[in-house]
Structure 1
Amino acid sequence: MPQVNPLITTPEEQFVVGESDFAFFGNYACRVEGGAILFCRSGSADATVNQYQGQVRRNTMVLLLPGSIFMLTDRTEDFRAAYCSFSRDLFSEAAFRMDPSFFHALRERPISRPPQRIVEGASIWLQMAAYTYRDRGNVFRNTIIKNRLQNLLLESYDKMQRFAARQHRVPETTTRQSELFHRFVALVHEHCAQEREVSFYADKLCISTRYLSTIVRSVAHSSAKEFIDRSVMLEIKMMLQSTDLSVQEIAYRLRFPDQSYLGRFFKKHAGESPTEYRNNKK
């Protein structure tokens, strides 16, 4: 029986609350069009959110921004997570005027294990969200969940900031460099399907390619080109796993010169051809 994506929303159903084993995402990279909050109830799995990897086990929280690529590997049979998924529009309304640094922090650390008092608060929040989800006659249903989502995002940001302050008393990079790096990450997330050259992102940031490379090396411990290429690989893998597009069609969509060029690029980074990767993931 085909697995169903539990995080799907519709124009009529702007948010969905429930509990799932998330088998749909098992060894299957998929883009989350809206966003979601996951709270692990039992079992464990290794999660990939864009370029971030971490273990999810009981009381682990995962926050997925709209457009994130999400996948679970080594998922145990007893893995279960409560969730609230929401449309891109609902998230945009809830996140309106929030400090951009929140989204920077979330991209860096979408998987976390909050302290016990936060675990209790998250459980209560999900119970309230589930109550609102079931209350279909409530004409203010979407407004209520939007306000609750905003409250949760603000609470999460506050706790993430406190944790970061305790863990990193002395910043390794300047505020200016950190801001440029976060803007670079956002640009790569938005444009990597079409743009793979460092110069494109340097121009967008109005800095030299050399300075951008220095910043990325300092923060991410890799070159800017390597960072871009990893994002492109995520896009290719997602298309290979989540669509029936041919390798030639994927090459066209990602603006590779031809299928052979994409094949060489993929094999260089993955150690196997796109077709081999697709077959191995079936």
Structure 2
Amino acid sequence: MRLGVSTLAEGLGAPLSFGSAYLVLLVCVSGRARFALNFREIALQRYDVLVLAEDTLALVRQRSRGFLAMACLLPKALASEVAYVLPDTLLTFLREQPHCVPSPLDVPLLQGWLHQLMDAQHNSGRQRHVMLRNLLQNFFLKMVTLLPKQKRAPAQVSRRQRLAWDFWERVGQRSTHQRDVQSYAEALCISPFYLSQLTRECFNATPKALIDRQVVLEIKALLTYSELPIGRIAERLNFEDASYLCRYFRRHTGQSLTGYRRAGQGGTGP
């Protein structure tokens, strides 16, 4: 599990990417932000919680200068352990309503839970995994007691939004080996021009910019969380050679691969 505080600056105006996380908890700890979750606008303020599944399309539309979020990234194995004791009604509800607003009485409980979670995360003892699992289960079980008796009907998604969402899902699945806009447009049975219209409308970015952004995130993840040499990273991400990978990364980030790895950027947060 990964746990850290983030400004989510890299996600402003483009889909957020959390690597291989299966489930993400975001808790706003300061400031405010506006999100689009599966094309539904959400206003996030202090101590609001977002529960994001791996297929949730999340964008940061706006954020205040002091916005910070505690991000808890769960791998699939841990998320499955946590979900084992949870009722299906909660999981269904959270997929439809991922924005949770605690009552004033529950805010101190949330603050205490965050402190316990951080303490457990930094515990190097043998009980660390059990502590994290139990804390996360307690968090969601508390949610069960707060479930409303009636759920709102899920929002309708237009065909244009669905196509944009399908494009972003394909980028997440294929960007390591497919980086040309034409192939994505053909897979969606639309023209590159129409795809560009969709992504500008929904994400305020071109298809190529979104593809490149995802590739850069993949490179950063391998630099930060693996010890693979540059040549192996180039092979894994289907670049012609290490030299081309270096030029690509510098063009999009202004940094060298070795410089980024040495600095250890992103090592403690999402």
Secondary structure at the counterpart of residue 63 of structure 2: coil
TM-score for the superposition, normalised by structure 1: 0.62
Secondary structure at the counterpart of residue 19 of structure 1: strand
Give the one of 149, 156, 166 matched to 1:235. Answer: 166
1:27 aligns to 2:8 (yes or no): no
Q: Which amino acid is the alignment partner of residue 17 of structure 1?
A: L
RMSD (CA atoms): 3.3
Aligned to 1:119: 107
Higher relative contact order (CA 8 A, sep 6+): 2
Give the one of 188, 191, 212 matched to 1:256. Answer: 188
1:1-282 correspondence to structure 2 within 5 Å:
15-32=1-18, 33-136=21-124, 138-159=125-146, 161=147, 164-165=148-149, 168=150, 219-220=153-154, 222=156, 226=157, 230-237=161-168, 243=175, 245-251=179-185, 255-257=187-189, 260=191, 263-264=193-194, 267=197, 277-278=206-207
Alignment: residue pair count = 206
Secondary structure at the counterpart of residue 117 of structure 1: coil
* 1:95 to partner: Cα distance: 0.2
Contact 1:233 1:266 (C-alpha < 8 Å) held by counterparts: no
Contact 1:62 1:111 (C-alpha < 8 Å) held by counterparts: yes
C-alpha distance in structure 1 between counterparts of 2:77 and 2:8, whole Å: 24
Unaligned runs of 5+ in 2: 214-270
Aligned to 1:193: none
Contact 1:52 1:109 (C-alpha < 8 Å) held by counterparts: no
* 1:96 to partner: Cα distance: 1.4
Deviations 1:78-116 (A, max 9, x none): 101223221121101110152221121101211122101
Q: Which amino acid is the alignment partner of residue 140 of structure 1?
A: Q
C-alpha distance in structure 1 between counterparts of 2:140 and 2:204, whole Å: 40
Q: Which amino acid is the alignment partner of residue 6 of structure 2?
A: S
C-alpha distance in structure 2 between counterparts of 1:276 and 1:69, whole Å: 15
TM-score for the superposition, normalised by structure 2: 0.64
Q: Which amino acid is the alignment partner of residue 148 of structure 1?
A: L
Unaligned runs of 5+ in 1: 1-14, 173-218
Secondary structure at the counterpart of residue 27 of structure 2: strand
Aligned to 2:249: none
Aligned to 2:260: none
Aligned to 1:195: none
Q: Percent identity?
A: 18
* 1:155 to partner: Cα distance: 0.8
Q: Which amino acid is the alignment partner of residue 264 of structure 1?
A: Y
Aligned to 2:233: none
C-alpha distance in structure 2 between counterparts of 1:275 and 1:247, whole Å: 16
Q: Which amino acid is the alignment partner of residue 20 of structure 1?
A: S
* 1:54 to partner: Cα distance: 0.4
Closer/same/farther in 2, CA of residues 142 and 249 from structure 1, 3 Å limit: farther
